[in-house]
Structures are given as structure tokens and as C-alpha cells.
Amino acid sequence: MEFEYISAKEAAARIGVTARWVQQLCASGKVEGAKRFGAQDIWLVPIKWVEEKANKE
């Protein structure tokens, strides 16, 4: 399955939470398709996940 990604910071801004919270969700496996980039906890979040979360609020 092909995903389009945005940064955890941008995802957080779109759904109204902190970037750290999104990073923690990614690290715990709660964001399907999330990818860790580099060694500095930079997470790429699928846009589909963000849209689903934004629609629930």
C-alpha cells in the first residue's frame, strides 16, 4: 500500500495535539504506516491517518 507522508509536527498541528504526542503514538505502533527517518526521532506520518483523526474531532 502506497502512503503519502507529512512530518509529525505538521500532523500534530492539523489535529490539534503536540508533535511529541504524535511521535509517541508512532513509536508505540499506533499509527499504521508511520516511518522513522534518521536517528533523531523524526517521524513521517501517513496523511490518511491525519485525515481520519481530523474528521473525528
Please say if the pLDDT value at position 16 is more than 80. Answer: yes
- Residue 56: its pLDDT value, please? 77
Mean pLDDT over residues 37-56, rounded? 89
Total length of the chain: 57
- Residue 53: its pLDDT value, please? 87
Helix pair angle (8-15, 19-27), 10° resolution = 120
Q: pTM, whole model, 2 decimals?
A: 0.85
Q: What are the start-end ranges of the H helices in the chain?
A: 8-15, 19-27, 47-56
Q: How far apart are CA 57 and CA 49, in angstroms?
A: 13
Q: Which class for 6: exposed (0-12), middle (13-18), buried (19 or more C-beta within 10 A)?
A: middle
- Residue 41: its pLDDT value, please? 78
Mean pLDDT over residues 6-26, rounded? 96
